[in-house]
Amino acid sequence: MIRTQAVSRAYGDALVVDNVTLDIPAGGVTSIIGPNGAGKSTLLSMVSRLLDMSAGTVTVDGLDVTRTPSDVLARRLSILRQDNHVSARITVRDLVAFGRYPHSKGRLTAQDRHQIDQAIAYLDLGALANRFLDELSGGQRQRAFVAMVLAQDTDYVLLDEPLNNLDMKHAMGMMKLMRQAASELGKTVVLVLHDINFASWYSDYIVAMKHGKVAAQGAGPEMIRPEVLSEIYEMDIKVHEIGGQLISVYYG
């Protein structure tokens, strides 16, 4: 379980994350939704020790993320942020192989290679495996980085807007993959998502943030309701049931 206790982050006078106490259950897919500037990515960065908190503590399976050695945490939790600029020339396969670094420190074993091949196959990157990252489109590069995180094979997988740059087919493929990782491999997947319909369709648990605080949280059906969503996004949102799934409509 990921547990944040009274976590805050301030930039100057502005509180971006404001005293957040939150338990993210182990297992399943949890989505964090909310308007721009709600503090979703900042919270995720603090949970994954990329950013120091101004106050509060975060524990993952009881390990304090700011005190646990980074390489111990790297075998338990992985994080992928949105912008991944790489100036070196790296092939897709080499990038995915970096996912095994926490386990093998650069010396790949046969099992590492197996995991790498599997991750490449999961993300449909077989044909691109030997291409250099700077020769790929934004969406292909995004998938390559997700493959790296999958190869890392951690219990907790944190992805910050993983659907950015992806077309419909690959966005859906990505979400199915995360579902599969949660239900078949028992992983805990935490996503920051902007598309509430993707959140509704694929997550077990939804956390909504607004103004740096947790505005609401609960299982999918409790959260995808017009009154909850309208309050969070400050706009008129209708919810329809289509094929047994709750779909929000907010156009027009």
Partner 1 sequence: MPERSTSPGLSPRQVLITLAALAAVSITAFMVIGAKGSWGFVLPFRGTKVWGIAMVGGAIAVATVLFQTITANRILTPAIMGYDALFRLVRTVQIFFLGGLSYATLNAQLQFAFETVLMVGLSTLLFRWLFNRAARDLYLLVLVGIVFGVLFRSLAGLMQRLINPNDYAVLQDVMFAGFNTIDKSLLTVSTLAILGSGVWVWRLLPALDVLNLGRDNAINLGVAYRSVVSQVLIIIAILVSVSTALVGPVTFFGLLVSNLAYMLIRSHKHALILPAAVLLAIIALIGGQVILERVFGFDSALAIIIEFVGGVVFIAMLLKGNRK
Smallest distance, partner 1 to C-beta of residue 91, A? 9
Is the Cβ of residue 43 or residue 148 nearer to partner 1 in the bound state? 148
Site string for partner 1, 76-115 (x = CB under 8 A): --xxxx--xxxxxxx---xx--xx-xx--xx---------
Part in contact with partner 1 (CB under 8 A); list of ranges 18-26, 68-76, 118-126, 215-223:
68-76
| Distance in angstroms (rounded) separating the CA atoms of residues 215 and 18 | 11
Which of 167, 168, 169, 191 is CA-nearest to residue 179? 191
Residues within window 187-246 making contact with partner 1, judged by CB under 8 A: none
> 216: which strand partners?
208
Smallest distance, partner 1 to C-beta of residue 119, A? 14
Which of 232, 229, 38, 159 is CA-nearest to residue 240? 229
Contact status: 164 vs partner 1 (CB under 8 A):
no
Smallest distance, partner 1 to C-beta of residue 110, A? 19
| Distance in angstroms (rounded) separating the CA atoms of residues 79 and 101 | 14
Cβ–Cβ < 8 Å for 215, 224:
no
Smallest distance, partner 1 to C-beta of residue 90, A? 5
| Distance in angstroms (rounded) separating the CA atoms of residues 207 and 214 | 7
Number of chain residues interacting with partner 1 (CB under 8 A): 34
Smallest distance, partner 1 to C-beta of residue 70, A? 5
Contact status: 117 vs partner 1 (CB under 8 A):
no
Contact status: 152 vs partner 1 (CB under 8 A):
yes
Smallest distance, partner 1 to C-beta of residue 228, A? 32
In sequence order, which residues have a C-beta less than 8 Å from that of residue 228 and are 6 or more positions away? 208, 216, 222
DSSP, residue by residue, 63-90: EETTTS-HHHHHTTEEEE-S-----S--
| Distance in angstroms (rounded) separating the CA atoms of residues 143 and 133 | 11
Contact status: 70 vs partner 1 (CB under 8 A):
yes
Contact status: 39 vs partner 1 (CB under 8 A):
no
Part in contact with partner 1 (CB under 8 A); list of ranges 63-71, 177-185, 228-236, 237-245:
63-71
Tokens standing for 183? 């239900």
Which strands form 55-60's sheet, in the order they lie side by side?
A: 14-24, 2-11, 55-60, 63-64
Is the Cβ of residue 88 or residue 127 nearer to partner 1 in the bound state? 88
Name the site residues for partner 1 (rule: CB under 8 A). Answer: 48-50, 69-75, 78-81, 84-90, 94-95, 98-99, 101-102, 105-106, 134, 145, 148-149, 152
